Structure 1
Amino acid sequence: MARGLAVMSVLLFVLATTTKADMEGRSRPNALGNSSAPTHLHFYFHDKVTSPSPSAVRVVNPPNNISLTFLGMVVVMDDPLTERPDPASKPVGRAQGMYAINIVLTAGSYNGSVVIVLGSNHISDIIREMPILGGTGHFRFARGYAQARTYFLDPNGLDAIVEYNEIVVMSVLLFVLAATTKADTQSGYGPRCSSLCNSSAPTHIHFYFHDKITGPSPSAVQVVSPPNKTSPTSFGTVYVMDDPLTEGPDPRSKPVGRAQGMYLSSDQVRIGFLQAMNIVLTAGLYNGSVITVLGSNHISDSIREMPVVGGTSAFRFARGYAQARTYFLDSNGLDAIVEYNVYVFH
């Protein structure tokens, strides 16, 4: 899939507990599904690594050049999603990430919403299934799964025939479990949570996140450079972070934890990252607990939202969301202080 132009036909559902049919004849949503009817979205996913303007770029080569599976290779994508298999058909979104995907919807009723997919995809299997871990906007607290089926594969998997024979067409079913209420403090979408939340109020955790790339002791380091040095968004760049979290915006204020993980540039048009981090709390009532966040972070937006997909200790089985707001950005656009409000049901 990473060596040509891949096209995926995607069906997106918000599952009711009573839904009985999927592409294989069975679907078994649990109590998370509530009782709402499924929502269905359909689009095609185009993954192109060839031509002067690829939508996916190889950022790490396989360490062993004779590996039959390219073990260790990393590809970052900003793949267009369209209404039809034709790349010129109506655009409906982008798939951004590194095969851990933010499905960013840009048309229709769910314009601006994001669905997060992370899982194993063996493209030679007839049917592949990948979990949906969360989402934002209309898909806050989403759960579900994606099923992929290869529709067409160029026998070479290379650039032998440009435009058409580099196409992999994959039929995909996405099933998303979400609730339906619509109240929110800042984003216009509600803290929609199903019976998972047990009607209890979420735990609110507030802190400041210090991401320092410059100086002799950075807290975030660039581990992969952008393959295209002229990219305006440094597409494909990967950073690893161990950022301090403090009670106030002053870096010298009381430390409350660390944000450990990675973020990679996954948007070719505006600066945006796939961000995966463990919020390791080191003070207060939740000292020793971890909150895991995975989502899309476009840093020019005034408020960014990323799903909480789990946690440990006090936050085992946690669900929720993190809202980020830039408090300070230095003149070179590298070092930043970001205010976080994290809301967790646990």
Structure 2
Amino acid sequence: MGDRVSYAFSASQGPSPEGGDTARTVEGRLTLDVVSVQAPWVWVRVAYTDAAGGALPSTRLAKDLVVPVRSDETRPLDVPHSGTASAESPSLAGRTWEALRYVSDQRPVDGPLRSRVYANDSGPLYLTRGLLEATVETAGFRTPGRIQLSLQELNEGSPATRTPVPALERPLGPGAYYDRKVDIAPTHEVARVCITAERGYVLRTEGPVGAGGAPCSDFSQAEPEPLEDLLMSLPWEVLSSGDWPPVGASSARVTFTAGSRSVPAVTEQRPEDVDGTQHVFSETYAADPWASELAGMPYEARFQPLASGTERTGAGGKRESVGETRMVNWGPWLGVQ
């Protein structure tokens, strides 16, 4: 309880080889704080801030997130490090570590150059599997970019300290779920995405909502993703996805409803001729992805369309639905089963 790990991060993208854009950057601190322990769960608060601890201007990184992580395993989890390994002894966060650097160079096939340094004994870095440093560089035909993470601070807490479990109002993902209704022929179903975390890995399942049974009770077939991979991806998405909400000047303010929830939103419609038939494509996004009406929604769902659909113009100018997807439910599954 009270364990704290802080990394300096920086990410940059662009300009693209074709020109027409400018370089984009974001940098600051990524901090993981253990705020509560209720075996087998460890509750972690994740925050992206500037170097002084203040809020970042990006909407996507503006709020801290809660991540419950199981300290045990419900099944064996092992994602081997990729790349060529070499021994190192870096000095970071006031101590010298015995570590291995893993380098994977996929640039010859238009892939990234990845370099990561992991401590041989993860010890207090158990949440990120011993990660000390990480760098990813993109090249080839894509927009050039780079993201870097480096351990800055490490504090070990006291096992005697006890604090209440925090509410899952802004979950990164683990401990929460969301349901999306899909009406696009031939698929007509409600699909559920469930997310959990165990010993530094994130597990995610997606499938039709079944009748009866506890939600999100089976992760036996989920592919494990290292938590540090997910944490590194968030600053990258800030640069690649742009401002929020991702709509143009023609957007309209609306209210999106899901059950008893009413969410302030924006909708944009885009007409397009498809094989001689006029179609209208629409997308609806939360006006504020951190609105209280979205409490309990996993991070990834907050930055997806709440609804998207396609209509075609039929005889007499009447619009006919071609297909639609929309968010219908979300919230924590942990603690409510």
Give the TM-score, by structure 1 length.
0.31
Which protein has the larger Cα radius of gyration, Structure 1 or Structure 2? 2
Q: Which has the higher contact order (CA 8 A, sep 6+)?
A: 2
Structure with higher helix content: 2
Give the TM-score, by structure 2 length.
0.32
